[in-house]
Amino acid sequence: MTMMTGILGSALALAIASAIPVNGKDEPTRSGELTMTPTIRPDAKAYLDALVKQPRPPMNAPTIAMIRKIPPEQLAVMMSQSEVEVPALAVDRKLTMPGPGGAIDLRLFDARQERSPGPVLVFYHGGGFVVGSIATHAALAAEMARQLDIPVVSVEYRLAPEHKWPAAPDDAEAAARWIAANGAAMGREVTGLVLSGDSAGGTLTLVTALALRDKPASVPVELLVALYPMADASKPYPSMAAFSNGYGLDSADSQFYGEAYAPDVNSPRHSALLADLKGLPPTVLATAALDPLRDGGRAFVCALAKAGVSVSYYEAEGNIHGFATFRRAIPSAQRDLDHILSLAKAMLGRNEAAGEASRSKP
């Protein structure tokens, strides 16, 4: 149990860690040059120090085989060492839908037993496209439902290495389309979609948005909320080297995830930054300052702005990749999540107000 908790605490949510190299301390190197020591929060540092003291097995095929033998609910219990409990909601219900590769499990979270017609948030969990599940990310999905006051449907998409790319984006797109068209199955009248996810799920958020822009679902996508996504795998960014080891998402694990998932890194269905971004919905994108994926996220935000897309950006200073699912181990991460969701709620409110104004015109 102790060993597996170490595996899941770091790898399950894609090795969860990140923070900003700003406001750091300049220190001279042996050659006399100045280098920047990144600022890291005390609770994030304590979490990373604990990972050093309790080394976990490397992410490889035997480790994944071991994880696959553990029931999803047990994995969620093991993650409770780093993540908060799932908040109690009026609705927490399992569903199933047909998918491209077979049935796809879904889980509906809603703070209200009944509600008026409105948008539904489609949530994709993180885990490097290799690990993670609805159960491991239930607390995050439920918190989104509570704070945004909208139904959230979490998606159990297929994982690598058993199902390589593009199985995950195929399932993600199919789920969004099914949810848009099947509100009755959830007891909800769906008027729009919010696409969201963390880490690998953030990547699926971006690529699914592109797919639904080019071939719309039965209701429009109103907002994207992407937490520390991999926005561009086609080339290296400085943050990949700066935070490649010791910040939770180590380069060896990232390499394994990439080999297991085997995507075309030059395809917009994996590297969304390579696409024409014009016409995407308003977007909230969050990164962490000590995250290898940080600079790709920054580049994507800049590209969105240049494409004329309304975008809000939040960078969690002193925090690490995966902070949204480490709120017990890194308590200050709750404030980051609160801020991100406040941005999302504000943007969603503006979108709804604009839509109502447009509909009221003669």
60 vs 33, 160, 293, CA distance in Å? 38, 12, 21
pLDDT of residue 56: 76
pLDDT: is 105 or 351 the higher one? 105
Q: Which residues are catalytic?
A: 199
pLDDT digits (tens, 9 = 90+) for 49-99: 999 998 778 899 999 999 999 987 788 788 888 999 999 999 999 999 999
Domain ranges within the chain, ordered by starting residue: 2-360
Cα distance between residue 193 and residue 221, in whole Å: 5
So what's the pLDDT on residue 23? Answer: 34
* 7 vs 145 pLDDT, higher one: 145
Residue 222 burial by CB count (10 A; 0-12/13-18/19+): exposed, middle or buried?
buried
Q: Dump pLDDT digits (tens) for 141-183.
A: 999 999 999 999 999 999 999 999 999 999 999 999 999 999 9
Q: From residue 201, how far is each of 39, 59, 73, 93, 334 by CA, in Å?
A: 27, 19, 19, 21, 19
What is the DSSP-derived secondary structure letter of residue 161?
T
pLDDT band with cut points at 50, 70 and 90 for residue 10: very low
Q: What is the pLDDT of residue 89?
A: 98
Confidence class of residue 120 from pLDDT cuts 50, 70 and 90?
very high
Kindly state the average pLDDT of the residues 223-243: 98
Question: Which pTM does this prediction carry?
Answer: 0.89
Q: What percent of the chain has pLDDT over 90?
A: 81
**H-helix or E-strand containing 314?**
strand 311-316
- Topology classification of domain 2-360: Rossmann fold (3.40.50)
